[in-house]
Amino acid sequence: MNALLKLDRVNAFYGSAHILHNLSLTVKPGERVALVGRNGVGKTTVVNTILGLAALRGGQIHLGAHHLARPRPYVAAQHGIVVVPQGRRIVANLSVEENLHLGAAVGRKGPWTVPEIYKLFPILQERAHTPGTALSGGQQQMLAVGRALMANPSLILLDEPTEGLAPVIVDQLADIFNRVAAQGTALLLIEQNMSLVVRVAERYCAMAKGAVVAEGPVENSRASLHDLEAHVMV
Ligand SMILES: Nc1ncnc2c1ncn2[C@@H]1O[C@H](COP(=O)(O)OP(=O)(O)OP(=O)(O)O)[C@@H](O)[C@H]1O
């Protein structure tokens, strides 16, 4: 079976700044992969390159069987790959429910509808008509995940979804990510909180200086946590 996402020796730039250096990475259907590494190694740039927000100049990206010649955000979504961006980017003048509908704009059919999102996140139903940005940080993150699910993706790229959130919210999100993955959606989790990574991921790719430099299995164990922390310690 084709990988959902395959980056093969990708080089990416912001202007003349060369950020990704021959980076290779694969996510298969249903897989839960963590992309880890210190601040500034280029994790967000991996996402930005898939979306066309950083310039791809060398190497290849495949989304399933599709060769991504000109990356654009809507092209990724059409092929079932959606992003929960760092900072969430909830649209300020839209309600919670309107923000959810935005996620469905790509028109992919599948199990996720507004009522299904409300079953996953009852708090979003309670606050359906509130402006999205009036929610707490944790609730906004739930909204960002719900909005991504509305595109009925085969793979969700989560860019630091727990940044700045209280441990109790992180626990809730870990549970949600596991429920979403159990239903068959693959995850690529960019995360600094390794205790979340060991609860959600089954494999890690560690980055340094714009390339993947190590890969391995992840288990919900102390040994795995220790192993992962070595890749992010400054
Ligand atoms: N728009 C931009 N223009 C130029 N350089 C950028 C731009 N965005 C990021 N960079 C640089 O690219 C490098 C990689 O940044 P990136 O955000 O991908 O790292 P990261 O691993 O996601 O780190 P963090 O955990 O801090 O988000 C950094 O040196 C950063 O300063």
Strands 32-36 and 186-190: parallel
C-alpha torsion sign, points 61, 157, 84, 154: positive
The number of domains in the chain is 1
CB atoms < 10 A from the CB of 39, how many?
8
What is the full DSSP assignment across 147-160?
A: HHHTT--SEEEEES
Residue 85: CATH number of its domain? 3.40.50.300
Centre of ligand 1 from the C-alpha of residue 182, in Å = 32
Residue 46 C-alpha from the chain's centroid: 11
- pLDDT score of 14 more than 90: yes
178 vs 37: CA distance, rounded Å: 22
116 vs 203: CA distance, rounded Å: 28
177 vs 155: CA distance, rounded Å: 12
Q: Using a 6 Å cutoff on CB, does residue 43 contact ligand 1?
A: yes
Confidence of residue 60 (pLDDT cuts 50, 70, 90): very high
The ipTM, to two decimals, is 0.94
Token digits of residue 121: 């996140």
83 vs 21: CA distance, rounded Å: 22
**What percent of the chain has pLDDT above 70?**
99
Centre of ligand 1 from the C-alpha of residue 41, in Å = 7
For atom 1 of ligand 1, the residue with the nearest CA is: 14
Q: Using a 6 Å cutoff on CB, does residue 47 contact ligand 1?
A: no
pLDDT tens-digit series, residues 130-179: 888 888 889 999 999 999 999 999 999 999 999 888 999 999 999 999 99
Residue span of the structural domain in which 99 resides: 5-232
96 vs 187: CA distance, rounded Å: 23
- Measured in degrees and rounded to the nearest 5, phi and psi for residue 213 equal -110, -10
